[in-house]
Amino acid sequence: MKPLVKTENLHTNFYTFEGAVKALNGVSIVVNQGETYALVGESGCGKSVTVRSMMRIVQSPGKIEDGRILIFFNEKDREQGIDILSRSEAFMESMRGNQISMIFQEASAALNPVLNISAQVGESFFAHRSSEMLALTETAIRAELPNTRFPLARAWKKFQIAMYERERADLEAYHVATTGFDDRLYAIEDSLDSETVREGSGIRRRRERLHKTSLLVRFVKRLPILSHYYRRVGRTVHNEVVELLTKLGIPNPQNIAERYPHELSGGMQQRIVIAMALACNPLMLIADEPTSNLDVTIQAQIVELIRTLKETVISSVLYITHDLGLVAEICDRVTVMYAGDTCETAAVTEIFDTPLHPYTKGLLSAVPKVEQQGELATIPGSVPNLVSPPQGCRFHPRCPHAMDICKVEKPQQIEYSQGHTVSCHLYTGRNSRT
Amino acid sequence: METEIMVEQPEAAAGHKGHRDMHPRLRELLFGLKRFISSPLSVIGLTIIVIFGLMALFAPIIEPPKTPNNPYMIPHTGWEMQPSPPSMTHPLGTLPQQYDILYGIVWGTRSAFVIGVAVVLANLIVGVFLGVLAGYFGGAFDEIIMRITDIFFAIPFLIMAMALVVVIGRGLGAIILVLVVLNWPQYTRIIRSEILIIRDREFVQAARASGASHLRIMFKHILPNTIYSVLILASLSVGATILNAAALSFLGLGSDLGYADWGQMVASARNWIVGPTGQPLAFWYLVFIPGFAIALFVLGWNLLGDAARDVFDPKQRRK
Amino acid sequence: MNLLSYIIRRLLLMILVLFGVTFIVFGVMLLLPPGMRVAAFVKSEKITPDQMNAMIKQYGMDQPAPVQYVHWLENMLQGNFGYSSTASAPVLDAFKQYLPVTLELVLYTMPLMIIVGIVLGTIGAVRKDEPADHFTRVFAIVGYSLPTFWLGLLLLMLLYGLLGIFPPGLLSNKLTNVINSPGYHQYTGILTLDAILNWRWPIFLDALYHLFLPVVNLVIIQSATIVRLTRSSMLESLGQDYIRTATAKGVDRKTIIRRHARRNALLPVVTISGVLFATLMGGAVITETIFNRPGIGLWTARAAVLLDVPAVMFNALFLGVVFVVINLVVDLIYAYVDPRVRLT
């Protein structure tokens, strides 16, 4: 299994009025190419924070304090992947929505109420596939050129073509400048020399100040009449949007594209959000509890939609959920989290068959089963306060197997068997590898 | 599968030492006050108001009145029209007809406080009363009261104020009355809209279903949830009220020359803005000093109001 | 169809409100006994009681209040708004003379104050808690706290008194004679506009020169409100979920601010701008007083003090109409921009 995105020892804190909330306490997870991955846990255990850290959209007062986040998108990349925590914001902007997309829980809140669907889905196209859209429009205009006789119209079309080419060149230059995998940058990351580190931040800062397009293009776009040259591209994007909606099986796409978010049902809104996320054919889709707010029937449709898309368009899907049933049905591998720690990671079948971590066991036994009789099992106690979390293993106050060492030392992540890791002192002795 | 029930209570749930035991509303208040104090601007505002407050309180000691039964009359040392610059006898200079500016500033603080607090308090009472009537009982009450507020909103403030003052007779009391009469609608509107939001919430319905009287519902359920916006408006209004009062005084509708009111003092400066040729700023103290007092006082209230809003605005609390 | 009926309903409401406004204003004016009100028309020092009674009868001031009100209404509907004693001219003529002066002031103040307000407010919100933010907040709150007259007087004192630049008044004396001369056509009464239409640039510049201080005075104070409102509105907008989605889509920060945050944030600003416009039309009384610009503000102020009932009534009516129309326009803009709003 080749990894796609990997976090190593991620520490993220939120600096609030009441103190520093240590939301992530060294989270290490790996999402492989082509798999459906689940991140499971109670509310507040850090699942959302993890994925937001992965995309570097942690909201202030949050800050990623330690660790590495590695991506393995290209074959050309180094074996160890690229640590995106040292990349510029421009790099992240080109990655978000493009190679990694994320959909959130509340679809209605995720959509801007004053823009229509075409504009919002189209925004994804403009953000990352602008060059392609420009090329498409240009081809269309070129095809019309022989049939245009009227000199003013010919001149206008030639002007449009010229501007499109100019913009495409600009975008290309920008792309190279901000995402180019600079060998110098690699050398810098590996070195501990302060001189080279400063040079690295200098490179990064220079990249932050670049504009996507040249001054000429930006200027013309602001002029009163000439700026209309860009309208045609808008139409191209609109058509692409409609095509995308059709591909997603949304009925009546032309009509829907012109509507506003508040005119659509919850399920439809979520489908639009998915469309926005998929516009640029991302490698990985992160779904943060996408169905929690929807009816059960719509839930099923959405999940089915994502499953179909995974077979065709996306490579990996990362689900955040606390619905174990969903995990059992569609996911390949799962990580269980508790209070900012990863407890256990395994293939889905294996974790249901042989759960190792006491928390996992508690979680699974809490799910009501048909043949069960008597009281429902619960895990006693409550989720800890993350400003002053428990020492050692964060689960020890509620763990039925807590030992003395659990109160003092945080358990390391051990590989119990092939592909099955667990962080618990019960298994510290039993390494399948050293 | 384990199903033992563990009785062990996690000690980690303690969190902040004693705060968990406090009544939640008190905790909110403490949280708010802490944030309040941590903002430098609000501290400055509070300091300003406190200083002015002390000045108002100790006015008789700082500047003993010459006419004990009317301390608001500024003492004057002569009848000369031309104002005198700051000197030993008059540390801040004098107004036309030699009224001492320092005295005016000190006792003017009292006037300012009275105006600001009286008007806003009266507005609050009238506005909230009508707003609650309109919002809670709805129906005809709502329609009529809303139409009246619409009309009052459309009345041009300054014209109406001036006309009223002329009709009633000039003076500080008239200005206070005018401001009370013309400014209550904004409170009504705000509390009415807040009430409309709350009125149909479940807990109000529940209270009604359990037979609580209207009065009880209003005081125990509705007011505590809706009063915040109005209080914020009130604290922000004190400044505006004082500015309006000063403007009216400036236009000559306030008290007579010699009364300790800042707006009046600036009004007296109207003929002395530009000094004799060669000395254009000869009478700077006339314009600058009382105006500065007004500006500073209003600034203090605005800072307080801003800080109050940052802290107590239900939409912005808790980050 | 829906739109039309909405507008009609609003206009009917407007008439109701205007009745209310004029009724109240009239009622206030009538609180004074006729003897005092007729004094407005008295030219000489002493008159005999008989002469006074005759004047009272002549102006119909002895009739009961409602009758006088109806009288006034009748006259108004015929286009007769009475005679303004403070202006020594029929009310309508005086209005036509004074309105352009106020209009000119408002014309230059509004766009400046909105632009300054929005720009500073956006900067404050986007760069929250940075030095730039603190600067805009301080500017806003100080500007909000300054008494208009104080700032005006200070500006006058320092710039005109000390440095001799930016004088009060409308135009220099020499040029005032020029615009009153036969060769000069006063199309609109707005000095700058007329100057351009007459192609007399020195007059244009001179008018601007005289406009500078009053406009700066108003802009500083009024833009403060807009700065604060824009800032808080932007902050609220930036905290919304759709911003988070746009970030996750990889849209660059500048576009997010421009397209998503700002568009939603500007709605309350539109409302406030409307209110401020209506207030400014009230003549910016204090500014006109200090800078000696004979607009409707100055006129109304004198009329109120001197009990010139027809003038006060007319101005109240005019401002009421402005207020209601502005509200209607603002609501329509709101409905246009925000598709969630349905005109009910």
| pLDDT tens-place string over residues A284-340 | 899 888 777 777 788 888 888 888 888 777 788 998 988 888 888 888 999 999 888
Residue A179: pLDDT band (50, 70, 90) is low
Q: Count Cβ atoms within 10 A of the Cβ of residue C299 and give its class: 0-12 exposed, 13-18 middle, 19 or more buried.
A: buried
Residue A151: pLDDT band (50, 70, 90) is confident
Q: Residues in chain A whose beta carbon is closer than 8 A to a beta carbon of chain B? A: 16-18, 61, 361-362, 365, 375, 377, 380-382, 384-385, 387-390, 397-398, 400
Pick C32's closest partner by Cβ from B167, B253, B269: B167
Q: How many CB atoms lie within 10 A of CB B182?
A: 20
Chain A residues whose beta carbon lies within 8 Å of the beta carbon of residue C252: 90, 93, 127, 212
- By C-alpha distance, which of A232, A73, A101 is closest to A161? A232
Interface of B with A in 21-40 (CB under 8 A): 31, 34-35
- Contact call for B2 and A380, based on CB within 8 A: no
Chain A residues whose beta carbon lies within 8 Å of the beta carbon of residue C264: 112-114
- What is the rounded end-to-end Cα distance, in angstroms, of chain B? 41
Asked if A306 contacts A287 with a C-beta cutoff of 8 angstroms, the reply is yes
Q: What is the mean pLDDT of residues A262-279?
A: 87
The reported pLDDT for the residue numbered B121 is 92
Chain A residues whose beta carbon lies within 8 Å of the beta carbon of residue C235: none
Alpha-carbon distance C336 to nearest alpha carbon in chain A (angstroms): 10
Any CB–CB contact under 8 A between B14 and chain C?
no
For the CA atoms of B74, B76, B81, B82, the dihedral, rounded to the nearest 10 degrees, stands at: -90
Q: Which tokens hold the place of A175? A: 């792309």
Any CB–CB contact under 8 A between A210 and chain C?
no
The contacts of residue A190 (CB under 8 Å, 6+ apart) are: none
- Contact call for B287 and C153, based on CB within 8 A: yes
Q: List chains touching C (3+ CB pairs under 8 A).
A: A, B
For the CA atoms of B114, B119, B124, B129, the dihedral, rounded to the nearest 10 degrees, stands at: 120
Please list the residues that pair with A11 across neighbouring strands.
A25, A66
The reported pLDDT for the residue numbered C234 is 87
Q: Which tokens hold the place of A60? A: 């202030």
Pick C340's closest partner by Cβ from A92, A102, A113: A113
| pLDDT tens-place string over residues C99-136 | 888 888 898 999 999 999 999 998 888 888 788 888 88
DSSP annotation string for chain B: ---PPP-PPPGGGG-STTGGGS-HHHHHHHHHHHHHHH-HHHHHHHHHHHHHHHHHHTHHHHS--SSTT-TTBPPBS---SSPPPS-SSSTT-B-TTSBBHHHHHHHHHHHHHHHHHHHHHHHHHHHHHHHHIIIII-HHHHHHHHHHHHHHHHS-HHHHHHHHHHHH-SSHHHHHHHHHHHHTHHHHHHHHHHHHHHHTSHHHHHHHHTT--HHHHIIIIIHHHHHHHHHHHHHHHHHHHHHHHHHHIIIIISSPTTBS-HHHHHHGGGGGSS-STT-TTTTHHHHHHHHHHHHHHHHHHHHHHHHHHHHH-TTT---
The reported pLDDT for the residue numbered A238 is 93
* Cα–Cα distance, B104 to B290 (Å, whole number): 8
Residue A413: pLDDT band (50, 70, 90) is confident
Any CB–CB contact under 8 A between C18 and chain B?
yes
Note down pLDDT in tens along chain B; length 319 residues.
333 333 333 333 333 344 444 566 666 667 667 767 777 778 888 899 999 988 888 878 877 777 777 777 777 777 777 777 777 777 777 777 778 888 888 888 988 998 999 999 999 999 888 888 888 787 888 888 888 888 888 887 887 787 777 777 777 888 888 889 888 888 888 888 888 877 777 777 777 777 777 777 777 777 777 777 788 888 888 988 999 888 888 887 887 777 888 888 888 887 777 666 666 677 788 888 888 999 999 999 988 888 877 776 655 444 3
Model confidence, pTM = 0.78
Alpha-carbon distance C296 to nearest alpha carbon in chain B (angstroms): 11
Any CB–CB contact under 8 A between C258 and chain A?
no
Pick A114's closest partner by Cβ from C245, C247, C337: C337
The reported pLDDT for the residue numbered B278 is 67
* Cα–Cα distance, B210 to B206 (Å, whole number): 6
Helix, strand or coil, per DSSP, at residue C147: coil
Which of B115, B151, B284 is the best mutation test for C, with the most CBs of C within 10 A?
B151
Helix, strand or coil, per DSSP, at residue A75: coil
* Cα–Cα distance, C285 to C270 (Å, whole number): 24
* Cα–Cα distance, C41 to C59 (Å, whole number): 10
Alpha-carbon distance C183 to nearest alpha carbon in chain B (angstroms): 36
The reported pLDDT for the residue numbered A429 is 65
Q: Which tokens hold the place of A399? A: 């763990």
- Contact call for A380 and B8, based on CB within 8 A: yes
Asked if A348 contacts A314 with a C-beta cutoff of 8 angstroms, the reply is no
* Cα–Cα distance, C7 to C205 (Å, whole number): 41
Our CA angle for B282, B285, B288, nearest 5°, is: 120
* Cα–Cα distance, C220 to A301 (Å, whole number): 57
Asked if A200 contacts A185 with a C-beta cutoff of 8 angstroms, the reply is yes
- Contact call for C249 and A110, based on CB within 8 A: no
* Cα–Cα distance, A170 to A160 (Å, whole number): 15
Pick A262's closest partner by Cβ from C240, C264, C340: C340
Any CB–CB contact under 8 A between A117 and chain C?
no
**Is the link from the previous residue into A290 a cis peptide, with omega within 30 of 0?**
no
Interface of B with A in 300-319 (CB under 8 A): 319
pLDDT averaged over chain A?
Answer: 82
Q: Count Cβ atoms within 10 A of the Cβ of residue B114 and give its class: 0-12 exposed, 13-18 middle, 19 or more buried.
A: middle
Residue A204: pLDDT band (50, 70, 90) is low
Phi, psi at B19, each rounded to 5°? -70, -25
Q: What is the mean pLDDT of residues A276-287?
A: 88
The reported pLDDT for the residue numbered C94 is 84
Question: Residue A71, Cα to own-chain centre: how many angstroms?
Answer: 12
Please list the residues that pair with A19 across neighbouring strands.
A16
- Contact call for A96 and C263, based on CB within 8 A: no
Interface B:C, Cβ pairs < 8 A: 143
A-chain residue closest to C334, CA distance: A114
Any CB–CB contact under 8 A between B148 and chain C?
yes
Q: How many CB atoms lie within 10 A of CB A320?
A: 23
Chain C residues whose beta carbon lies within 8 Å of the beta carbon of residue B280: 157, 161-162
Pick A102's closest partner by Cβ from C241, C248, C253: C248
Helix, strand or coil, per DSSP, at residue A12: strand
Which of C29, C146, C150 is the best mutation test for B, with the most CBs of B within 10 A?
C150
| Element at A6 (helix H, strand E) | strand A3-16
Any CB–CB contact under 8 A between B37 and chain C?
no
The reported pLDDT for the residue numbered A434 is 41
Chain A residues whose beta carbon lies within 8 Å of the beta carbon of residue B14: 385, 388
Q: Count Cβ atoms within 10 A of the Cβ of residue A19 and give its class: 0-12 exposed, 13-18 middle, 19 or more buried.
A: middle
Helix, strand or coil, per DSSP, at residue C108: helix
More confident site: B264 or A198: B264
- Contact call for B159 and C289, based on CB within 8 A: no
The reported pLDDT for the residue numbered B13 is 37
* Cα–Cα distance, C286 to C289 (Å, whole number): 5
Any CB–CB contact under 8 A between C272 and chain B?
no
Q: Supply the angle between the helices B40-57 and B101-132 in degrees, to the nearest 10.
A: 110
| pLDDT tens-place string over residues A4-21 | 888 888 888 888 777 788
Average pLDDT by stretches of 10, chain C with 344 residues:
76 82 76 62 60 68 72 73 75 85 89 92 85 87 88 85 77 74 72 76 83 90 89 85 87 84 84 85 82 86 77 81 84 79 61
